[in-house]
């Protein structure tokens, strides 16, 4: 039995699988993620860990809410 799905459904399914994989990856401790990424890589786990820490720090800065300005009073 052959099941045919639309291109949009296939793309949505692929997106869901990728999002789940990213969520699992992002939930790993940084050191463990670096060690897994270093397998078969030309970079060491230490180098990858440093890069991950920099990227996560930069992401936190970008996601930080902007300070709210005090309301301006009419003169």
**How confident is the model at residue 20, as a pLDDT?**
95
**SS3 sequence, 57-70?**
HHHHHHHCCCCCCC
**How confident is the model at residue 71, as a pLDDT?**
66
For the chain, the domains span 31-62
- State the average pLDDT over residues 55-72: 78
Residues 20-46: tens digit of each pLDDT? 998 988 899 999 999 999 999 999 999
**Does 73 score more than 80 pLDDT?**
no
**How confident is the model at residue 35, as a pLDDT?**
94
CA 27-37-34 angle, to 5 degrees, is 60
């Amino acid at each position: 039995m052959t099941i045919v799905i639309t291109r949009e459904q296939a793309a949505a399914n692929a997106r869901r699988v990728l999002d789940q994989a990213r969520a699992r990856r992002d939930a790993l401790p940084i050191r463990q993620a670096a060690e897994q990424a270093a397998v078969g890589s030309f970079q060491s786990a230490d180098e990858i860990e440093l890069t991950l820490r920099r990227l996560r720090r930069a992401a936190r800065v970008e996601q930080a809410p902007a300070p709210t300005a005090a309301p301006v009073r009419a003169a």
